[in-house]
Amino acid sequence: MKVKLLILADDLTGCSDCASFFSDLNLKVLIIPFFKYEKRNYKADVLIFNTQSRHLKGVEAYRRNLFILKNYRAEKIYKKFDSTLRGNLIPEIKSILKFFSTIRYLPFAIRFIPLCFSFPEQGRTTKDGIHYVDGKIITKTQFSKDPHFPVKEANIRKIFKSFKDKVVILDAEMRKELDELALRYKDYFVLGGASGWLKSLIPYWFKVKKKNLKLKIKDSPLIISGTKNEKTFKQIEYFRRRKNIGVWKINPENGRIKKEKEDPCLIYLERSPETRPHIAMKNLIKAIKSIIKKRKNLIICGGETSYNVLKILKIDRLNLKGSIEEGIAILSYKNYNFILKPGGFGKIDLILRCYNVLGE
């Protein structure tokens, strides 16, 4: 079965981010949250795969992307990259170029792959090939100290220079510029970059009627955060000042739980820059493992946290149900509702707004 659009993202929150832009369109949007080397028949207009490849070795990231490209036919392909340049950028582009050399159903010759990493509404912009976050060169932000994938190069054209004319890096500082780039490149078979450019491309690819979304919510939300990103900590603090709820704070180093109430609405890892990420995540999982099976509405902050929660619940697909805003989708599986929020994403009131939509 050929889908209208195939999207490959390297983590789970990236999948959710992309899905959010389709929330008011009458399309079947399906996220596959866990990668497997097996081909299955999925019925969807838009099929979004999590390759789970951001923190893998480059050769495995290459293999996973190539496997999906070879086994799922599509009218269009969008390779979603992190808007802060984390992940296996080079191996994943190599997989696309290899794919081009092996397939026979291309609608026309591929001259190059246009890539745009800008998402102005989230402070990600590119000028003269240099990438910025909130007006600062990315290598001077906290993303240069990411515990898994520190960003060491801000010049995107330099990162992809080995591909010469096969990859073109596009600048954009405003939404208007992204819209203009979308008009220029909309007919290309494969494109890539941040989800911000995907937003501008969708109106050219899908001319469908909007649908009215009805959310059936019956359970108060549980917020779970395992990210170290300071933006999420500020969102949590803002939320707590405005809601009198039960909170569990997890010590990342030893897993000790500080319970403010026995029945929590918020569980999160405390700040601890020195703690190794895998130890902190192990302690969080231990704390939440039993309680998440009893809750039906979950707001999860951080890509790795999202991955582990869905793994515990044995969820193999997610359907798009709605969105809080662009970049923040409401997803469902049977009786569960999920909001998967990237650690470095959103305004200070985002967690509060997510909670209000699912809980009130």
Show which of 205, 230, 252 is a domain's final residue: 205
Quick: pLDDT tens for 339-348: 999 888 889 9
What is the pLDDT at residue 210?
66
What is the pLDDT at residue 216?
58
Pair (25, 133) in one structural domain:
yes
Domain assignment present for residue 217? The answer is no
Show which of 175, 205, 235 is a domain's final residue: 205
What is the pLDDT at residue 60?
98
Pair (189, 254) in one structural domain:
no
Token pair listed for 107: 């609608």
Pair (236, 302) in one structural domain:
yes
Domain assignment present for residue 210? The answer is no
Domain assignment present for residue 321? The answer is yes
Residues 6 or more apart from 298 whose CB is under 8 A from it? 221, 222, 224, 292, 309, 336, 337, 338, 339
Pair (36, 153) in one structural domain:
yes
Pair (194, 232) in one structural domain:
no
Round to whole Å and give the CA distance between 140 and 248.
33
Pair (49, 91) in one structural domain:
yes
CA dihedral 320, 325, 326, 331 (to 10 degrees): -20
Round to whole Å and give the CA distance between 255 and 58.
32
151-154: long-range pairs with CB below 8 Å, 24+: 151/84, 151/85, 151/86, 153/85, 154/85, 154/130
CATH number at residue 266: 3.40.980.20
Pair (181, 265) in one structural domain:
no
**120, 174 contact by CB (below 8 A):** yes
DSSP string, 263-312: S-SEEEEPP-TTS-HHHHHHHHHHHHTTTGGG-SEEEEESHHHHHHHHHH
Quick: pLDDT tens for 53-63: 998 999 999 99
Domain assignment present for residue 211? The answer is no
What is the pLDDT at residue 213?
58
Token pair listed for 161: 């220079």
Domain assignment present for residue 276? The answer is yes
What is the pLDDT at residue 359?
78
Domain assignment present for residue 213? The answer is no
pTM of the predicted structure, to 2 decimals: 0.89
pLDDT tens, residue order, the chain (360 aa): 789 999 999 999 999 999 999 988 989 999 999 999 999 999 999 999 999 999 899 999 999 999 999 999 999 999 999 999 999 999 999 999 999 877 665 555 567 899 999 999 989 999 999 999 999 999 999 899 887 788 999 999 999 999 988 999 999 999 999 999 999 999 999 999 999 999 999 999 998 666 655 665 667 899 999 998 899 999 999 999 999 999 999 999 999 999 988 889 999 999 887 788 889 999 999 999 989 988 999 999 998 899 999 999 999 999 999 999 888 999 999 889 999 998 888 899 999 999 998 876
Residue 34's identity, in one-letter code, is F
Only one residue has tokens 């170029």, namely 97
Return the closest-CA partner of residue 275 out of 304, 254, 252.
Answer: 252
Domain assignment present for residue 215? The answer is no
Domain assignment present for residue 152? The answer is yes
Pair (293, 164) in one structural domain:
no
What is the pLDDT at residue 162?
94
Pair (70, 152) in one structural domain:
yes
Pair (136, 253) in one structural domain:
no
Number of domains in the chain: 2
Pair (76, 126) in one structural domain:
yes
**77, 188 contact by CB (below 8 A):** no
Pair (230, 185) in one structural domain:
no
Token pair listed for 74: 């599509």
Query: Tell me, what DSSP letter sits at residue 33?
Result: -
Instruction: Name the residue range of residue 35's domain.
Output: 3-205
Task: Give the chain's mean pLDDT.
Answer: 91
Show which of 173, 205, 237 is a domain's final residue: 205
CATH number at residue 99: 3.40.50.10840
Round to whole Å and give the CA distance between 89 and 96.
11
